[in-house]
Structure 1
Amino acid sequence: MTSQMNEISVHVERTEPEQVLDECCIYRVPSKLRNVNKASYTPQLLSIGPFHYGSPKLKDMESHKQKYYEKFLKHCSKDEAALKRFVNQHLDRILSCYAGTIECRGNIINVILVDACFIIEMFMTDSETENHHILRSPWMRKAVEKDLILFENQIPYFFLEELYDFAISSRDSIVEPEIAVHPEPVQHQFLTLAWVNSYRSKLAGLTTKELKLTRFWATYDAESVIRNIMALEQLIYPKKAYICSYFLLLSQLVNTVEDIDLLIKDGVVENLLGSNKSVEKLINSFCVHIVEEISCYSDIYDQLNEHYKTSLGNRRMATLKQVYFKDLWTGSATILGLVVLVFSIIATIKSLTYHKR
């Protein structure tokens, strides 16, 4: 990396709207989504790409990236000048993948090159047999993994592939990174649906055909991953927003802590946060400012709404259970109140009968 750090602003001009629409895949998270939980979208340790490069709190990691870059140069088949020329040849296409204006402290070619080499070198390094600066620490590894999945913190994948093919000519002596390439986005494989037996009283006593959801593991690391996938879907896959649809549906089922209790009991939610109240707040916060254009669960919504309309008795029974028998103390108070009411009615009747005589 160059020692002279000049602030530059790169504005990507869109001359072919349709082509750019296909190429553009790395966005800044809209402020409405970001303000719900800024930390979930912001790298805490490591910057990748131009959006967060130069952030003071990420400065310490630059020396680690430089070490990986220098290590990459030692075993690649090209010198540094050739690598920089290669980046420059692809720079227009790389920048077209980023939406909006790019403001980056430093030489943009160096930023892209060092970050790309850092990622490739991490994949190629064996953390068990080599002095791995990052992966040998479980805490550091987890922090790096978390920052690498952030929507804003990316290098275009096509460039990583082409740089690897260009720079690593001898495949015999280098361990090729095992990166699974899926024909469709990974998030499309996240959810499954099935119809099963009895599920939940809130759905108005449905007993024959019920909804079963893929289990949600509520962990401390889940929030950042889910929010970034949902942001990606909102901007790139609005008509195939499977994760957004899943959590919008789940949030419709969760209004109280008692709802979480039932979801945990039925195996829909696995609570690793400790407090069920925390899980309830987390699930309902996911859908703040989320827009659903087309739900992959629309047929299920229709069936449940139709069942709700035609099941007056089940609705009343569900309301009775939720309001008057939601726990032991409420149920006991309800029964005691009914007993007092019955005795009061009997006493009143006896009193009226006595006066008539």
Structure 2
Amino acid sequence: MENVATNQNNSSSEESLFNALAIQIQSKFDIVKYYSQRPLLQDRIICCVDPLLRQVNAAAYRPNFVIIGPLRCYETILEHIEIQKRICLASFLQRAEKKASLIDFFKLIKDSADRIHGCYEETYCRSWDFLSHVIQQNIPVNDGSSGLFIEMVLVDASFIIELFLRAYNKELERGEIDFIFNTPRKMHDIRRDLFLAHNQLPFFILKDMYELAFGGNPDFPSFIHLTCHFFSPYYNQNKPIEDIMLPNHCHYEYRAKLEGAKHFTDLLRTLQMPSSKKTEDSLEAGRVQGRYLYSAVLLRDAGVKFKVSTSRCLLDIEFNKKNGELKIPPLRVDESTESFFRNLMAWEQRYHSHETYLCDYIFLMEYLIKSTEDVDLLIRRRIIINQLGSNTRVVTLFNNFCKHITPMEKNHFSDIFRELNAYNAVRRHSWLAILRLQYFSTPWRGVATIAAVVLLVLTLIQTICALISL
């Protein structure tokens, strides 16, 4: 009888274990069901960067000081910055108290919570076990209207707005975030964190909060003006940003693109685009024959003359096939260059797959830069401003940029590819280049070459005269 009872108990225990396991598996099916039935509110514009891209250099996509938004593609959270954010929230509420209160901002975010939450690719920021626990507790998964989510948006958005205001107006009391402004490098690092592709808040909620707080107040600029001023070190146009912001029709389309940015990464990509519609139209995508271009040194040996362009827009590259001049805007290469381009390229590949202007630019530069001699040539022509210290580091940087980035069938610099290859195919250009580089590269070498030719001619004349006199 005891054996029978023991067997029954064992069977009961196994059954309980199986039931618990079945419930656990079912809960995970419920998660899948939840996501499959959930309406797609809008495109997922904020998501963790492709793991393959992060394999090349994960640090280029990781925030070092400031974490923004709910995506947790990293493990550590800097507590002292989180405390500073809440101090900035208090300062922001005090600055905005004439127009709006904490309740007003809370209501604004709550009303927009579903739209905000719909911007995030949430599978990266929650674990299965956590979701299972949430579902078992009958709590809505990733409920955008939850207090924690609203608090996160409120704290992060107020920190960004306060930071932008104090960077714009140096007369504003800075107080608790003096440590940012008193250390130039710290400001640079935080600006870098705010353009990372997955370290973002949707642009619209930042703008709505700013308008609620300061809309109609002549003492405060528009939020797009404030944002462009903060990111002005990455602004690559010949015209001052203040002129772009003026309410006229000259730059209406460009200004509209800036105001329609999805987030800061998207806005910085637009800041690299030509402000002139004519220049942008000239970058018509086309197929690249053979997908090959010679390096800078080989093109120079083929007769191409590299010149630095007066344009600041990186995409404004021109080749004059009549005189062989290739004009390229100057590019400053420093410690943040890799992070800057990698995040913009990752965003462009995901959301602007048919307008990969920056990816195409990097592909072109990658072809030109194959060795330290190529870098040295571009530095001497003032096309590259090397602040990395070593030409080898610049070569490594550009050779690794396009790993795991698939080139599109069409390239916006296809005309330049075609014209450079055609120019390189004409042998006369190579002969003239050899003559210029080897015999007329410096004034003294040119004088010596001319003197040698004159001496050769005189010797030849003397020989001919001697033969005639015989």
Q: TM-score range by the shorter chain?
A: 0.7 to 0.9
Unpaired segments of 5 or more residues in structure 1? Answer: 1-8, 323-357
User: Would the aligned equivalents of 1:202 and 1:318 in 2 still touch at CA under 8 Å?
Assistant: no
Query: In the alignment, which residue of structure 1 is the partner of 2:86?
Result: 66
User: Would the aligned equivalents of 1:41 and 1:228 in 2 still touch at CA under 8 Å?
Assistant: yes
Q: Which amino acid aligns with 2:413?
A: Y
Q: Which amino acid aligns with 2:227?
A: I
Larger Rg: 2
State which of 268, 272, 290 in structure 2 corresponds to 1:187: 272
Taking a change above 3 Å as real, the CA distance of residues 305 and 14 of structure 1, as seen in their structure-2 partners, is farther
Query: In the alignment, which residue of structure 1 is the partner of 2:123?
Result: 101
* Matches of 2:70 and 2:369, distance apart in 1: 39
Query: In the alignment, which residue of structure 2 is the partner of 1:300?
Result: 416
Query: In the alignment, which residue of structure 1 is the partner of 2:234?
Result: none
Taking a change above 3 Å as real, the CA distance of residues 165 and 34 of structure 1, as seen in their structure-2 partners, is same
Q: Deviations over 1:36-74 (max 9, x none)?
A: 111111101111111139842423210000100111122
Taking a change above 3 Å as real, the CA distance of residues 129 and 110 of structure 1, as seen in their structure-2 partners, is closer
* Matches of 1:201 and 1:172, distance apart in 2: 54
1:232 aligns with 2:347: yes
Taking a change above 3 Å as real, the CA distance of residues 226 and 169 of structure 1, as seen in their structure-2 partners, is closer
* Matches of 2:207 and 2:115, distance apart in 1: 14
* Matches of 2:358 and 2:69, distance apart in 1: 25
Deviation at 1:127, TM superposition (A): 4.3
Taking a change above 3 Å as real, the CA distance of residues 224 and 190 of structure 1, as seen in their structure-2 partners, is farther
Q: Deviations over 1:78-134 (max 9, x none)?
A: 333332222121011112222342526992111111111111122233444413413
* Matches of 1:89 and 1:211, distance apart in 2: 53
* Matches of 1:160 and 1:129, distance apart in 2: 20
Taking a change above 3 Å as real, the CA distance of residues 13 and 26 of structure 1, as seen in their structure-2 partners, is farther
* Matches of 1:12 and 1:40, distance apart in 2: 31
State which of 266, 269, 281 in structure 1 corresponds to 2:396: 281
Q: How does 1:1-357 map to 2 (within 5 A)?
A: 20-21=42-43, 24-52=44-72, 55-76=75-96, 77-101=99-123, 103=125, 107-125=148-166, 126-132=169-175, 133=177, 134-168=180-214, 171=217, 178-180=226-228, 182-184=255-257, 185-189=270-274, 200-203=296-299, 204-206=302-304, 208-293=323-408, 294-308=410-424, 310-311=425-426
* Matches of 1:219 and 1:190, distance apart in 2: 25
Structure 1 counterpart SS, 2:332: strand
Deviation at 1:300, TM superposition (A): 1.4
Q: Which amino acid aligns with 1:119?
A: I
Q: Which amino acid aligns with 2:76?
A: P
Q: Which amino acid aligns with 2:371?
A: T
* Matches of 1:313 and 1:172, distance apart in 2: 64
Instruction: Let me know the Cα RMSD of the aligned residues.
Output: 3.7
* Matches of 1:190 and 1:152, distance apart in 2: 26
Q: Which amino acid aligns with 1:118?
A: F
Deviation at 1:146, TM superposition (A): 1.1
* Matches of 1:100 and 1:316, distance apart in 2: 60
Taking a change above 3 Å as real, the CA distance of residues 115 and 54 of structure 1, as seen in their structure-2 partners, is farther
Percent identity, aligned pairs only, is: 31
Taking a change above 3 Å as real, the CA distance of residues 239 and 170 of structure 1, as seen in their structure-2 partners, is closer
* Matches of 1:71 and 1:165, distance apart in 2: 17
Taking a change above 3 Å as real, the CA distance of residues 205 and 124 of structure 1, as seen in their structure-2 partners, is closer
Structure 2 counterpart SS, 1:60: helix
User: Would the aligned equivalents of 1:26 and 1:99 in 2 still touch at CA under 8 Å?
Assistant: yes
If asked which structure has higher relative contact order (CA below 8 Å, sep 6+), I would say 1
User: Would the aligned equivalents of 1:127 and 1:136 in 2 still touch at CA under 8 Å?
Assistant: no
Taking a change above 3 Å as real, the CA distance of residues 253 and 159 of structure 1, as seen in their structure-2 partners, is same
User: How does the TM-score come out when normalised to structure 2?
Assistant: 0.57
Taking a change above 3 Å as real, the CA distance of residues 190 and 264 of structure 1, as seen in their structure-2 partners, is farther
* Matches of 2:74 and 2:107, distance apart in 1: 23
Taking a change above 3 Å as real, the CA distance of residues 238 and 315 of structure 1, as seen in their structure-2 partners, is farther
Deviation at 1:250, TM superposition (A): 0.9
User: How does the TM-score come out when normalised to structure 1?
Assistant: 0.74
Q: Deviations over 1:332-353 (max 9, x none)?
A: xxxxxxxxxxxxxxxxxxxxxx
Deviation at 1:14, TM superposition (A): 8.2
Q: Deviations over 1:220-275 (max 9, x none)?
A: 12221121111111111122222211111111111111111111112221111111
Structure 2 counterpart SS, 1:27: coil
Aligned pairs, number = 308
Q: Deviations over 1:279-322 (max 9, x none)?
A: 111122212222221311011112223344x3357679999xx9
Unpaired segments of 5 or more residues in structure 2? Answer: 1-30, 131-146, 229-244, 246-254, 258-269, 283-294, 306-322, 438-470
